[in-house]
Structure formats: C-alpha cells, structure tokens
Structure 1
C-alpha cells in the first residue's frame, strides 16, 4: 500500500510477540506494507508465522535500537508490561513502559523515522472506568500500570510538540480477538478467556456478577485504524477542523456489561461451534448494573459496529476450537 508519493511504507512493530503487535503485523502485511517485527524473543511463534523481517530487540543497547530503526518510515510501539506485572514490579513498569519508550523514540528520531504511533491504555484515566471519558478527561489512576504508561505517552507527545517526530498516542480500551499463536499471553482477557472456556468446558463462568460495564473493541477495528494512521498524512486528515490531536481514545463507544458480553458469546456458540453452552455468574444482593461507561473520542469517527463484534468473536471461537478442543 503506497503513500501519496507512491512509495511502499516500511513499518517497525515492537512487541511483535504480543496479541496486538502480532495482529497489527498480520494486518499491515495484508495491506502491502513492508513489516519489520521487533521482539525480545527471536524464537517467538508469532514471528515464524508471518513473512516479516524478524529482529531481536535489546532495549538497553542504543546501537541495537538505532539499527532496527534504520530505513523505517513508521514505528508502531505495541510493547508494554501488563497490569499484573506492573503491580508486582512498579520499578520494572517504569523501565519498560517509560524508559524503553524514550530509548526507542530517541533512536527513531536519530534514524529519521517520520512517525511514531504509541499504543497506551484507557486505564490511565481511572479505575474503574466509568462515566463519560474523552481525551479532555484528566487522567487520575495512580496504579503503576497507568502511571508508567503516562510516562511513555508524555515522552512521545513532547517529542511531537517539539517537532522532532510525528508522535501519536492511542489509548486503547478493552481490545479482544484471536492471537496469532496460542502461547501469546492473551487468555487472561475476558472475551478471550470466555471463548476458550466455551470450547474447553462448554460452559462460561464469570468470576463476578458481571454487572460492571466496559468498552470492548474488536482487534480488527484497532488494526484498521493503525493501517490508516500508517498511510495518511495524519496531521492533515481533517483540515476543516484544524490540527487533529496527537492523543486519541480508541474504543467502540459502546457501554456493555460483562454479562451482556458473555451472553453475546454464548449466543454465537451454537451457530459457530454447533452446540449450546451454559453461563454461570456470582449472584449478589444488589443486582443493579454498574455505572455506564461512555469511552469516546473527540477526534475519531465510530470504528466498529455490532457486526464487527460478532465477526471477531466468531473467529476467536473457531481459533479456540482448533487449538483447545
């Protein structure tokens, strides 16, 4: 897929061994990009499944970082420490989600990379997420997962503000979907876990009452947005509204309770897997649903609809049926 000059974009994706990084790599390859996939584990299953330039990243080695940034037009940074590990090791969280981002950004600028797309999280805003949240909402979550991601975000936004590079920060909500390999650490995610349960147990079991609300987004929608941001001159996509913000909330815009998502997955099991599954949850004295969540963007149109939800769920169920039956 060429840019306005007809030149094929060369994209470096870090965190290539993860759920989002692997799916973005697969999507961009199908769109015609030249993809370099960076990972700490050069033997990662994801890299072997794709026709990419697979490179090992030594995050503390400046020369290594500069080398992997050479001849790259766009970097998609999908590398990061998850919430559980951040809580256990706050210092490590700052190192990975903050310092490593700054190191990669420095190498990107030195290597002449044009654009740096950094994937962050909606959870910088609050815990739990509730109410109306847009890019204008002030982040207040003090969990190490949130504060370390804020550190990485600020580095990217500052570099963009200074004109060193085109920096874009995407705050993702609860993305879900099939991984490229079974060993990708994604089975703790609610939707992924429930789809795996549907195959392994023929029953869906929620740990709570399922009344809390979340914003879920299919990975296909996330990949589609990143594809667009890799192609276009982002800072001119909507000149009528002025310079767009380099900070974007990326969600579906739908407020859905956990139990509603579980029921949606349950409804897809018969047509996709050929059998019905049960659904269990913990009951409580107060069965009133939790506060709605309106996770919106002031700068992006709607990224998905219910049909894309079901398509992603169906493909995830089929994936689980193939590998976990």
Structure 2
C-alpha cells in the first residue's frame, strides 16, 4: 500500500512514517520544512504547505492509496497563533481532501484530539458523546473534523477521524520538538534537577496511549472498509493522574541511574481528581497492569534518548 503522511516532521507523523516503512509500506512524507532528522526508507520527502494548492498539485505523487493527515497545529503552535491555526486546519484539510478526490485516493484519516469532548472529562466518553469545545485548540481540530465531514458522502473515499487521548512515547529523534508533553517534559533534565516539580496538585486524570498504540490503531483503520465517515476514539480505557506519571518517571530514573528523585507539587488545585473512562469502537480496553507496563517501557526509552547529559 502507498501512503502519504502529512505533517511527517512532527511527533506522531514522524513515528508513524518510521513504523510504516518498517512494515514494508511505500511511504511518502510531506513537511513544510526540511526536518532536522532523517526517516530512512521513505519513497520521497515532499516539501510543501498544505494551505498552498499549487504546491500540492505540483509536488505530490500521482498514485496514493491512503493519506494520514497530521499537518495540523499542536496545542503549542495554536497558543502562539490561533488565527493561523484555524486557517491551516480548515484550508489545509480541505486542500488535501480535494487532492485525494482528484487523484482517486481511497482512504483519508484525520488525526484529531479527545479535547473536542471538553478539557476536564467526567463520566463515560464514547464516540456518541456530545462535543464540548472549551478552547481554541479543540476548536481548531473540530474545524478540521467539520471539513472532513463535508466530504463524507464522496463516493469511493473512506474518511476516518481519530480522536486521540494523550499520546506519550519516545520520539524518533531528540530534535522532535514535543518536550512539553507529559511525561516527556519530566524526563528531560531530570538528572540535573534531581526531581519533578508539578505546578498543580497533579490530581488531574488523563488517558494515555503510546505511539505504538496509535500506530497499531492506524494500521487497523487502513484495513477496514468504511463506506461513510467514521469517528473513533483512540484510548486505552485506563486513566492515570499527572502525579502518577511523574512518579513513574522518578521510579524509572532511580532504577536506571540510581539517583534519588523527588516528586513535589505546587498549588493544591485541583482538589479532586476528575473521574472518567474513554471507550473506543475500534479497540478493546487495555488491562491496567499491561498499560502501566507499556507506559514504563516508553519512559525508559525516553530516558535512553535524552541520555546521561539530559540536555
């Protein structure tokens, strides 16, 4: 299968590209600028802006079976330039889908966020749960989803939307700039600081999936035959507090380096943990002991990546 990964210079896009290459897919990657790292084995690296129709028409390959669309703004970029984020997620998504239609691409996958259901989730969250937009980042992705929805009745184009929970795991290179994510941010510099200090109480609960779980879910999607637009939550079905993740990092660091690591908290807010569970029509819930093991394995890989210097 020939796949095009947009946003392949990013955290998730670069990882998916690497994994699909390893699984003998023909992978074409699209980025706005030349990455600081290389992804060996790709068929072609394409430099283009998804908001520029002319660049897409001139530079993209003629024959593609599926597009994984990750050329959307992350929360950091959105915070810096929310207006451009909206333009990128609307026009960029529309341009890529129109290109898919012209070239006869059979599958289009839009990577969204669970935050379209709200910021501090409670209760059971399923694909049928109502959308509750509470910030510009969630709005930007709902805009992208809405564009995909406009094309959901196009014949011979299967459109899928993946709403990701918090994604964690080791990036393919140190220079992949997502060190603001939990627990990545805890790992970087931990040996120098000898601790993890949280600005909050750390009681906020989150559902975390690994990059590998995102890959496996995406691969499953590419093998499905959906006639109409389909939304899937990509979740583990388990929740961990922020302080849980900090302690996992501290434990793995102590195990690896023998250094005593202190975990401390700042403000006493929130005072209570938000309790919720995210269900998925695509994947079964993961047993807690198994998900914990996967998370700790990824933390160990991140610590290996940042190395002894922890710079």
Query: What aligned pairs does 1:78-227 form with structure 2 within 5 A after superposition?
Result: 78-227=70-219
What is the CA distance between 1:297 and its match in structure 2? Answer: 1.3
- Cα separation, 2, equivalents of 1:54 and 1:299: 31
What's 1:301 paired with? 284
SS, match of residue 72 in structure 1: coil
2:268 aligned with 1:268, yes or no? no
- Cα separation, 1, equivalents of 2:61 and 2:150: 20
What is the CA distance between 1:226 and its match in structure 2? Answer: 1.3
Q: Which runs of 5+ in 1 are unaligned?
A: 1-8, 236-242
2:238 aligned with 1:247, yes or no? no
What is the CA distance between 1:288 and its match in structure 2? Answer: 4.5
- Cα separation, 1, equivalents of 2:48 and 2:191: 36
Provide closer, same or farther for how the CA distance between residues 292 and 323 of structure 1 changes in structure 2, counting only shifts above 3 A.
same
Provide closer, same or farther for how the CA distance between residues 245 and 92 of structure 1 changes in structure 2, counting only shifts above 3 A.
closer
Provide closer, same or farther for how the CA distance between residues 38 and 161 of structure 1 changes in structure 2, counting only shifts above 3 A.
same
Deviates more, 1:196-205 or 1:30-39: 196-205
Mapped contact 1:218–1:308 kept (Cα < 8 A) = yes
Deviates more, 1:19-28 or 1:145-154: 145-154
What's 1:4 paired with? none
What is the CA distance between 1:137 and its match in structure 2? Answer: 0.8
Q: TM-score, normalised by structure 1?
A: 0.87
Deviates more, 1:109-118 or 1:287-296: 287-296
What's 1:280 paired with? 264
What's 1:318 paired with? 304
Provide closer, same or farther for how the CA distance between residues 200 and 68 of structure 1 changes in structure 2, counting only shifts above 3 A.
farther
Provide closer, same or farther for how the CA distance between residues 95 and 193 of structure 1 changes in structure 2, counting only shifts above 3 A.
same
Mapped contact 1:244–1:299 kept (Cα < 8 A) = no
Mapped contact 1:199–1:317 kept (Cα < 8 A) = no
1:102-123 deviations in Å (ceiling 9; x for gaps): 1111011111111011101111
What's 1:256 paired with? 240
Mapped contact 1:130–1:213 kept (Cα < 8 A) = no
Equivalent position to 2:26, from 19, 34, 59: 34
Q: Which runs of 5+ in 2 are unaligned?
A: none
Query: What aligned pairs does 1:34-73 form with structure 2 within 5 A after superposition?
Result: 34-42=26-34, 44-46=35-37, 48-52=38-42, 53-66=44-57, 67-73=59-65
- Cα separation, 1, equivalents of 2:270 and 2:36: 43
Provide closer, same or farther for how the CA distance between residues 15 and 163 of structure 1 changes in structure 2, counting only shifts above 3 A.
same
RMSD of the TM alignment (CA)?
2.2
Mapped contact 1:125–1:139 kept (Cα < 8 A) = yes
Equivalent position to 1:233, from 197, 217, 224: 224
Q: TM-score, normalised by structure 2?
A: 0.91
What is the CA distance between 1:69 and its match in structure 2? Answer: 4.6
What is the CA distance between 1:311 and its match in structure 2? Answer: 1.4
